Structure 1
């Protein structure tokens, strides 16, 4: 089976990222021009691979929690019993967009202390809106003929939800999760300001020491991860859309 050029490029980029995280010293000659006064070219105050895995774990936990809550809210407000809660649900999921993540961190630290918890709270709140709105779109724009067919087969509301509605809406929901994940990857870098382990630690160390090499390597790792994860979610969404016959991008807009 032949690999397309875009896929081959992504595989090469992924392998280079893995090589950089496991053997960063090999890339030192490329970063040395960005240093001054003999400063180290490779971040030496922690393990890059460990920081990257910690960064990804924080993003995964926060986005996963946001997905559970946002999808739950969307399901509730698309049922007759919960339709009246739509304005309240929209207000709740908009909280993260109303307050900047830095402000959420500042408010969360006195309550939960320094470390990963304030970052999780900020990312959780920030990730609710894209997933909620996409889930709402997916569940309210189902083909009427399919819903009528499910009703005609005698399905209960619960059966219709899990066997028909959610599978059909899945590509659109996944697009919301993709957006939330990409946002969280970039936003999680600020967690290092409250002592959370992550790639923001590399960037902040570079800014404090005026070492551009640290800033670049931290930013590049985050950027590459965002592109690779975004592509992975897009591929999954496109595959699911082909199975259901739905166009994700148009409905997500």
Structure 2
């Protein structure tokens, strides 16, 4: 029985990697060999003079897209998780409703409206879209951090305290590991949503995978729109499946515990 389980575990982990490898391969093909699909895009836009977007290489646009989403995700995770930890401590509990409302406020404003308000202050370019992504991606992270930490059984924390752990040690070695799957799910949601939302940056001069979409809309060329949307979708699927690979061992570990 134990042998069969030991064989099943590596096989299960290998299958988990199948999806990110598949989506990642398709993403790689889309950014380096988009021109090979010209007959397909010619079918979409038979009357267009040009059907392959070539104002910038797709791998360059992908890199810029990842940079914007990555910076926004890093700041949002640090701020969101830290805020969730602070307000679930005894000294910060009075601010819990305020933090929840502020995080929700970020998603009540459409990203387009945030960009319109940010551009006069921050100017055109990358910074406005980073600010918009931070505001838009904060809610899932804060909400899941609060949910994950608040769901840790009080008896477990009491036992940790009885063992001589300090509050900081209890947070580090007990609460955060138990809350990690829920927190990671919030980060996963935030990042996946922002991969699509980041395309709006092309409207304010932040060059990324939104460029073909905006150019296609302006010029009435649906082939451009499909190329940009397809690449963004493949990127989102790749990143989402990578998060699943990260989450599954955490879930299995907690189930075993």
Q: TM-score, normalised by structure 2?
A: 0.90
Q: How does 1:179-218 map to 2 (within 5 A)?
A: 179-218=189-228
SS state of the match for residue 167, structure 1? helix
Provide the secondary structure at the position in 2 that maps to 1:70.
helix
2:166 paired residue number: 156
Whether the aligned pair in 2 keeps the contact of 1:36 and 1:211 (CA below 8 Å) is no
In the alignment of these two chains, the number of paired residues is 247
Indicate how the Cα distance of structure 1 residues 55 and 86 shifts in structure 2: closer, same or farther if over 3 A, else same.
Answer: same
Q: What is the match of residue 223 of structure 1?
A: 233
Matched, 1:66 2:63: no
Whole-angstrom distance in 1 between the partners of 2:53 and 2:137: 30
Q: Partner residue of 2:149? A: 139
Higher relative contact order (CA 8 A, sep 6+): 2
What's the Cα RMSD here? 2.0
Counterparts of 1:56 and 1:232 in 2: how far apart (Å)? 15
Would the aligned equivalents of 1:42 and 1:213 in 2 still touch at CA under 8 Å?
A: yes
Alignment of 1:90-169 (within 5 A): 90-169=100-179
Aligned twin of 2:255: 245
Q: Is the 8 A contact 1:127 1:181 kept in 2?
A: yes
Following superposition, the deviation at residue 11 of structure 1 comes to: 2.5
Which piece of structure 1 moves more, 98-107 or 86-95?
86-95
DSSP 3-state at the match of 2:206? coil
Specify which of 83, 98, 105 is matched with residue 88 of structure 1.
Answer: 98
TM value normalised by structure 1: 0.91
Mapped partners of 1:184, 1:218: distance in 2: 15
Per the alignment, residue 28 of structure 1 pairs with 38
Alpha-carbon distance, 1:10 to partner: 4.6
Q: Does 1:11 align with 2:16?
A: no
Q: Is the 8 A contact 2:87 2:94 kept in 1?
A: yes
Cα distance in 2 for residues equivalent to 1:14 and 1:39: 31
Task: Kindly state the Cα deviation for residue 16 of structure 1 after the two structures are TM-superposed.
Answer: 2.5
Q: 1:141 to 1:6 in 2, by over 3 A?
A: closer
Structure 1: tracts of 5 or more residues without a match? 247-253
Structure 2 portions without partners, runs of 5+ = 1-9
Equivalent of 1:171 in 165, 181, 184 = 181
Measure, in 2, the Cα distance between the counterparts of 1:5 and 1:157.
Answer: 39
